[in-house]
Amino acid sequence: MIATTLILLLVLMALAIPVAASMGVLGLLLEKIYSQLPLQRAMGEVAWSASNEFLLVSVPLFILLGEILLRAGFAERMYGALIKWVSWLPGGLMHSNIAACALFAATSGSSVATAATVGTVALPQAKRFGYNERIFLGTLAAGGTLGILIPPSINMIIYAVLTNTSVPKLYLAGIIPGIVLTLMFMLTILLLCAWRPAWGGKRVLATWSERTASLAHLIPPLGIFLVVVGSIYAGIATPTEAASLGVVASLGLAQWAGRLNFAMLREAIEGTMRSTAMVMLIVLAAYFLNFVISSIGLTTALTGFIEGLGWSPAAMLLAVVIFYVILGCFMETLSMMITTIPIIAPVMFKLGFDPIWFGIMIILLVETALVTPPVGLNLFVVQNLRKSGSLNDVIIGSIPFVIALFVMLLVLSLFPQLALWLPSLAS
Amino acid sequence: MPPKPALVAALETGLKAADWLSLRAVWGGGTMIFIAAIIVSVDVIARKILGISLGGADELSGYAFAIGTTWALAFTLLRRANVRVDALYQHLPNQVCALLDLLALVALGTFATLLARYGFEVAAESFTRNSMSNTQLKTPLWVPQGMWFLGLALFVVTLGLMLLRGVAALVLGDWASIRALFSARTIEEDAQEEAAYALANKEIPKV
């Protein structure tokens, strides 16, 4: 049963059948082969209940928030302010790229939006200051991935829905690893510049009065962060309500910057709805497939099979990491999460891994997937922002940061407390 | 070029109509979600500051989400935004890809048709049993479920039109039309779009 399912799924996917259809059709085929009952009749109920699951409502809201923030025009001033604070370091503006990504990540739940927004304002500076262009591009592609690790995070919501874990706990768990990874990215730049000083380009020095004056430009992103993430921990709002508040706050911000107009809203809504429908069709198919899989006893068979392997938890974890690194090279990341987590996560939980900690590991693996070729979306986004040169520049420039991500995975495996300490304080 | 057969012309008109309708459906559904966000925000603020709850904001936003999602399915399809794994596909010759595009439409069609059929049953059953939501609002469930089903129906009709157009193109040996209809989006296209949005709002900071 396990082999048949796996082969069917691989064949469907390899034939480039849309992921949602692959999962739906796989569910139908499994029903035909293994079930006496007409499982497909439950499809309507399963789909309707998934369709108005309140936590999932936050997904389009977070996408919309990102779409509005991208157009709200505060990134330029935020970037300018961060330059004054961190660009005295060897590597100059490359540090402000990472810092700006981390700060923007605290308002946005998407890695692609983070790389696109910060990339737009940063790229025109690369040549002016004589940085190594490849590393500069790498800081943007890799820095952008912080978008889903530092809360809010769309991917964490999807993980929470798929595994019945708490979004507030996941958000808390992402904060320290997010800060550590930000520092590791900056350390990577420092190490590269120590090794090849010429790559570091010109540093930018600022006086303390300039620095203090620039702090005003950090208020908009911090304000959005407080509204969206702060409201959850102040006990004011659920994640979905927080996302709603974020949308309203971002509208206010766009209005204040004189960027709010009908055309901009229409564009933001079209983009939001397209991404939402794309993800939700996969979610609906996945709910149906999971219903079939558990009805025919495949989940139990799979858990039994994996336990029968007798692998130690550490070996199993290593296998999962390798699996996601490879899969992440070929698959869009949300589809990858929705197709695999319902199967893999229960097995890992049974082996004794903490669901919150495992969630952060998954997010780190998704971040890695976003900057590994051939299907690393962030690489392509950065390449498209600069519109010249070869994609290989971005790929090569990202390699040091992919290594940093691997180190981060190792660190988090050895010190799970990095993720679990803040949530443990809350409960 | 020889004149288009009447059937092909009719199908193209149908697809144009579906495109027109799907765009309106996206605006409608998106507006619903947008308004839901505002209502939920007002509800949160009213609850915390004034200590009163409007009640039902959560429920309504759930319906807006369900309806908005299915109403956007046809648009997503017409923009070829359904995720496909192209690791093998991108290395295959044009005509094989065209056949896989048709197969993709058939697979999506199979799943979507069943989804719409059983989705209809959910709404129809709520109607005949007069089911109401177990909340203050006592929403007659067939209303949101019926609107949710309409989105699924538009999705299935659009899929049907695309499939017929694709089969017609296959009969005529018009491979290019099949590819134009439903070739897998390359990651390049996705990235270009993201970049275009960002660049459109560019304003270079002074350093």
User: Which of B75, B155, B23, B147 is CA-nearest to residue A266?
Assistant: B23
A57 pLDDT above the threshold of 80? yes
- Rounded CA-CA distance A107/B132 in Å is 38
* Amino acid residing at A226: L
Location of structure tokens 């999506």: B108
Our CA angle for B12, B13, B17, nearest 5°, is 115
**Above 70 in pLDDT, residue A17?**
yes
**Contact between A247 and B201 using a beta-carbon 8 Å cutoff:** no
Residue A151, preceding bond cis, omega within 30 degrees? no
**Whether A214 contacts A85, CB under 8 Å:** yes
Q: Kindly give, in sequence order, each residue whose CB lies less than 8 Å from that of residue A64, ignoring residues fewer than 6 positions away.
A: A247, A268, A269, A272, B33, B34, B37
Split at pLDDT 50, 70, 90, the class of A22 is very high
- Predicted confidence at residue B85, as pLDDT, reads 87
- Average pLDDT for chain A: 92
Please indicate whether, in this complex, the C-beta atoms of B187 and A375 are within 8 angstroms of each other. yes
Position B204 scores a pLDDT of: 46
Mean pLDDT calculated for residue range B113-133: 95
How many CA atoms lie less than 13 Å away from A195 in the CB half-sphere? 8
pLDDT-based confidence at residue B207 (cuts at 50, 70, 90): very low
Separation of alpha carbons A288 and A279, rounded Å = 14
- Rounded to the nearest angstrom, the gap between the alpha carbon of residue A117 and the centroid of all alpha carbons in its chain is 15
Write down the pLDDT at residue B202: 58
Distance CA A159, CA A286 (A): 13
Taking the CA atoms of chain B, what radius of gyration do you get in angstroms? 22
Mutate one of B106, B115, B179 to test the A interface: name it (highest A CB count within 10 A).
B115
Q: Are B87 and B163 in contact (CB under 8 A)?
A: no
Q: Which of B86, B194, B204 sits opposite A16 (nearest CB)?
A: B86
Reported as a pLDDT band with limits 50, 70 and 90, residue A308 is: confident
The alpha carbon of residue A182 and the mean position of all alpha carbons in its chain are separated, in whole angstroms, by 14
- The maximal CA–CA distance of chain B, rounded, in angstroms, is 71
Residue A172 in contact with partner chain B when CB distance is under 8 A? no
A255 Cβ contact list (under 8 Å, min separation 6): none
Q: Is the pLDDT of residue A30 over 60?
A: yes
Confirm if A65 and A109 have CB atoms less than 8 A apart.
yes
- Residue pair B80/B183 in contact (Cβ under 8 Å)? The answer is yes
Amino acid (1-letter code) at residue B170: L
Section A300-320 average pLDDT: 89
Burial of A322 from C-beta contacts in 10 A (0-12 / 13-18 / 19+): exposed
The pLDDT assigned to A158 comes to 95
Q: What secondary structure, in 3-state letters, does A161-223 show? A: HHHCCCHHHHHHHHHHHHHHHHHHHHHHHHHHHHHCHHHHCCCCCCCHHHHHHHHHHHHHHHH
Report CA-CA distances (Å) from A355 to A160, A333, A416, B105: 9, 19, 11, 37
Q: How far is CA A113 from CA A63, A118, B23, B85, B97, in A?
A: 9, 8, 23, 22, 31
Q: How far is B9 from chain A (nearest CA, A)?
A: 27
The predicted pLDDT at position B201 comes to 62
A128 contacts on B by Cβ (under 8 Å): 207
| CA–CA min distance A197, chain B (Å) | 22
Task: Assess contact for A359 and A165: CB atoms under 8 A.
Answer: yes
A331 Cα distance to chain centroid: 14
Any B CB within 8 A of A241 CB: yes
A57/B65 Cβ within 8 A: yes
Whether A94 and A118 have beta carbons less than 8 Å apart is answered as: no
What radius of gyration do chain A's Cα atoms show?
A: 22
Alpha-carbon distance of A158 to A282, in angstroms, equals 12
pLDDT more than 90, % of chain A: 72
**Contacts of residue B192, Cβ cutoff 8 Å, sequence gap at least 6:** A384
Confidence band, pLDDT 50/70/90 cuts, at residue B3: low
Q: What is the pLDDT at residue A395? A: 94
- CA dist A44 → A47, A130, A164, B149, B199 (Å): 5, 59, 22, 10, 42
What tens digit of pLDDT does each residue of B143-174 get? 999 999 999 999 999 999 999 999 999 999 99
**pLDDT computed for residue B56 by the predictor:** 86
- State pLDDT tens for residues A123-166: 888 778 888 899 999 999 999 999 999 999 999 999 999 999 99
Q: Please check whether residue A375 is in contact with residue A331, taking contact to mean a CB–CB distance below 8 angstroms.
A: yes
| Longest alpha-carbon distance in chain A | 75
Per-residue pLDDT at B86: 85
- A136: Cβ contacts below 8 Å, ≥ 6 apart: A93, A94, A97, A122, A126, A397
What stretch of H or E contains A103?
helix A93-105
Tell me which residue in A112, A243, A269 faces B30 most closely, judged by beta carbons.
A269
pLDDT at residue B134, as a whole number: 84
* Chain-chain contact of B114 with A245 (C-beta, under 8 angstroms): no
Long-range contact pairs involving B133-137 (C-beta distance under 8 Å, separation at least 24):
B133/B59, B135/B56, B135/B59, B136/B55, B136/B56, B137/B55, B137/B56, B137/B59, B137/B60
Which of B194, B199, B202, B203 is most worth mutating to test chain A (most A CB atoms within 10 A of its CB)?
B194
Q: Judge whether residue A221 has pLDDT over 50.
A: yes
Q: What is the pLDDT of residues A374-399, one digit of tens each?
A: 888 999 999 988 878 889 999 999 99
Peptide bond just before A152 cis, omega within 30 deg? yes
| pLDDT tens-digit readout, A239-274 | 999 999 999 999 999 998 888 999 999 989 998 999
Structure confidence by residue, pLDDT tens digits, A175-207 = 999 999 999 999 999 999 999 988 888 888 899
Environment class of residue A257 by beta-carbon count within 10 Å: exposed (0-12), middle (13-18) or buried (19+)? middle
Count of beta carbons in the 10 Å neighbourhood of residue B55:
13
